[in-house]
Amino acid sequence: MLQERLLDVLERKNHWAWPWFAEGRVPLPRLLPHFQQEWEVYVRDFPLLLARVLGHRPPQDVCGMLAANIYEEQTGGISGSAPHPELFLRLMDGCGYARSSFAAVTLLPAARAYRAFLDQVSWGTPWVVGAAVLTIFVEGSAGERKELLALEQAPQTDAEIDAAIRRHPLVRVHGLDPKFLELQRVHKKIEGGHRRDAWDAVLKNVAPGQEAEVEGALHKALDLWLAYRDDAAAACGIAR
């Protein structure tokens, strides 16, 4: 079953350096390269990457899903917040990083390769490959299977979201004011619908002859992502 195979790929989206971030082993100033690479690789341009897939004219229901995702990412109009790239920069403000640090970021070699792949699949055809990589892999996580099961239950309450924000390492370890984590709050409030829509868009529209291409693209995305995270960890002074 394609969904199970793709979930197996996502379960491997778990980099060895994450405990260094989650447990506060690295001082906040040394984490700047991590955030710079995230910004340059996909955070700033994610709505544009989605727009390229929309430009391939997928079925109308998929167009609606992508258009809604782009609208929220680019404007914050659904959540009533702000553009997600701007919310990311506000988080960086809270971390004490100057916005000028994100004006002209040079990608590390593995980050450049990963971004080149995102460009390739978003421009390329069939559209379902780009949609799978961007909306399932990039927006997904190693906990995707658990999160999909949770979507069958009641959505998180505001109190539950607030508690999760307080547990975030930037708040719990580094002492950031939770107000700077509005991006994480917005994701928790609206991402459930996006996850369901993403999986439906791919699984309901992938032709049998395209399944291997979709699965192969996620495997390649994982390999490139792991190498990219290796480079980012090294830039933060983290070693195995």
Q: What's the token pair of residue 164?
A: 């999760």
pLDDT digits (tens, 9 = 90+) for 104-128: 999 999 999 999 999 999 999 999 9
pLDDT digits (tens, 9 = 90+) for 50-97: 999 999 999 999 999 999 999 999 999 999 899 999 999 999 999 999
Mean pLDDT over the full length of the chain: 93
Q: How far apart are CA 196 and CA 58, in angstroms?
A: 17
Q: How far apart are CA 168 and CA 178, in angstroms?
A: 9
Q: With 90 as the cut, is the pLDDT of residue 193 above it? A: no
Query: Exposed, middle or buried: residue 121 (CB in 10 Å: 0-12, 13-18, 19+)?
Result: buried
Please give the helix or strand (H or E) that residue 66 lies within, else none: helix 60-75
- Name the band, by pLDDT with cuts 50, 70 and 90, for residue 240: confident
pLDDT of amino acid 1: 93
Domain segments of the chain as ranges? 2-235
Residues 6+ apart with CB under 8 A from 218: 6, 9, 10, 132, 133, 136, 137
Report whether 141 contacts 10 (CB < 8 A). Answer: yes
pLDDT of amino acid 191: 67
Report whether 92 contacts 17 (CB < 8 A). Answer: no
Which residue, among 166, 161, 165, has the nearest Cα to 150 in the 3D structure? 161
Q: What's the token pair of residue 108?
A: 């590390």
Q: With 70 as the cut, is the pLDDT of residue 102 above it? A: yes
Q: With 80 as the cut, is the pLDDT of residue 5 above it? A: yes
Q: How far apart are CA 136 and CA 153, in angstroms?
A: 20
Q: With 90 as the cut, is the pLDDT of residue 148 above it? A: no
Which residue, among 5, 30, 3, has the nearest Cα to 239 in the 3D structure? 30
Q: With 80 as the cut, is the pLDDT of residue 192 above it? A: no
For 92-158, the DSSP string reads HHHHT--GGGGSSPPPPHHHHHHHHHHHHHHHSSSHHHHHIIIIIIIS--TTHHHHHHHHTSPPPPH
- Name the band, by pLDDT with cuts 50, 70 and 90, for residue 151: confident
Segment 127-151 shows an average pLDDT of 91
Global pTM value: 0.94
Cis preceding-peptide flag for 126 (omega within 30 of 0)? yes
Q: How far apart are CA 234 and CA 240, in angstroms?
A: 9
CATH number belonging to domain 2-235: 1.20.910.10
Using only the alpha carbons of the chain, give its radius of gyration: 17
Q: How far apart are CA 89 and CA 38, in angstroms?
A: 11
